[in-house]
Amino acid sequence: MTAVRLGAVGYLNARPLMYGLERCPRFSLRYDLPSRCAELLHAGDIDVGLIPSIEYLRGDEYRIVPGLAIASRGQVASVALYTTRSMSDVRSIAVDTSSRTSVALVQVLCVRLFNIQPTVEMRGPDLRDMLERADAALIIGDHALLLECPAVVKKIDLGEAWTTMTGLPFVYAFWAGRAGALASGDIGVLQQARDAGVAQSDEIAREYFKNVPGRQAVGARYLRDNIKYDLGDDEQAGLELFYRYAAEIGVVPKAQDLRFF
């Protein structure tokens, strides 16, 4: 049987979903930035990708692997806006080039929560450079989790902002691919990998930060307390609301129903 080409994300928060998959002959695994993972899936260069959730609406009638996601309810710690200003005074935002969903989330929150309409500029995740060029900066992933924020800079956690506004979790990414890309047994293997990975947060953090022991406790706590790996009813409701809001402001042409393998 031909191996399924899996496009994974290298960030710490994705590692529990891939736990043990590198040793599974059914899957051929590669790691990329979230934005690149979406590009590869759109181009047909991988069969299933851990894609930013907004990219589901930009694809070819994808199917979602049921039950699995990278999500948060409240503080996420690794998706944040940084600014020295009140949000009401922000007129421009520099956004991390590796992000897709978080950029859409910022745009939704600007309209619905902060009541502003800033310009958006894509930049690399360098806080000093970003704040020299814009009033606020969006940084995601490991860069945001480990960033030592200067006292004059305020960090606005976007997971917390979303849940405060809606009462729902926010879904950042999930496994998705074209219909027929996975057999039913493949779905079970992916779900088992998640279950095993969630149970091994300390081990994952130790391995991920093996050369920086001082970060291991931070990483393990983040995996246990901030990131959720379920795509249940509340997560689906949050995802559907995000899609509706994104479509209303023109980030995507239209919202779509959730379709599963």
Over residues 31-55, the pLDDT tens digits come to 999 989 999 999 999 999 999 999 9
149 belongs to a structural domain? yes
161 belongs to a structural domain? yes
What ranges in the chain are assigned the alpha helix state H?
Answer: 34-43, 101-112, 127-133, 141-146, 158-166, 184-198, 201-208, 216-225, 233-248
CATH number at residue 116: 3.40.190.10
Structural domains counted in the chain: 2
Number of C-beta neighbours around residue 258 at 10 A: 16
Nearest-angstrom CA–CA distance, 99 and 115 = 22
Q: Which of 166, 196, 221 is the last residue of a domain?
A: 166
Q: Residue 38's closest CA among 230, 196, 252?
A: 252
Q: Which of 150, 166, 182 is the last residue of a domain?
A: 166
- Residue pointed to by tokens 């000093």: 128
Q: What pLDDT is recorded for position 145?
A: 96
255 belongs to a structural domain? no
256 belongs to a structural domain? no
Task: Tell me: do 86 and 146 sit in the same domain.
Answer: yes
Q: Is 151 exposed, middle or buried (0-12, 13-18, 19+ CB in 10 A)?
A: exposed
Task: Tell me: do 52 and 93 sit in the same domain.
Answer: no
- Encode the chain (261 residues) as per-residue pLDDT tens digits: 799 999 999 999 999 999 999 999 999 999 999 989 999 999 999 999 999 999 999 998 999 999 999 999 999 999 999 999 999 999 999 998 887 999 999 999 999 999 999 999 999 999 999 999 999 999 999 999 999 999 999 999 999 999 999 999 999 999 999 999 999 899 999 999 999 999 999 999 999 999 999 999 999 999 999 999 999 999 999 999 999 999 999 999 999 999 999
Nearest-angstrom CA–CA distance, 133 and 172 = 26
The model's pTM is 0.96
Nearest-angstrom CA–CA distance, 91 and 171 = 27
Q: What pLDDT is recorded for position 97?
A: 83
Give the CA distances from residue 6 to residues 48, 125, 208, in Å, rounded to whole numbers and listed in that order: 5, 26, 20
Nearest-angstrom CA–CA distance, 136 and 102 = 14
Task: Tell me: do 154 and 179 sit in the same domain.
Answer: no
Q: Domain span at residue 88?
A: 79-166
Task: Tell me: do 182 and 141 sit in the same domain.
Answer: no
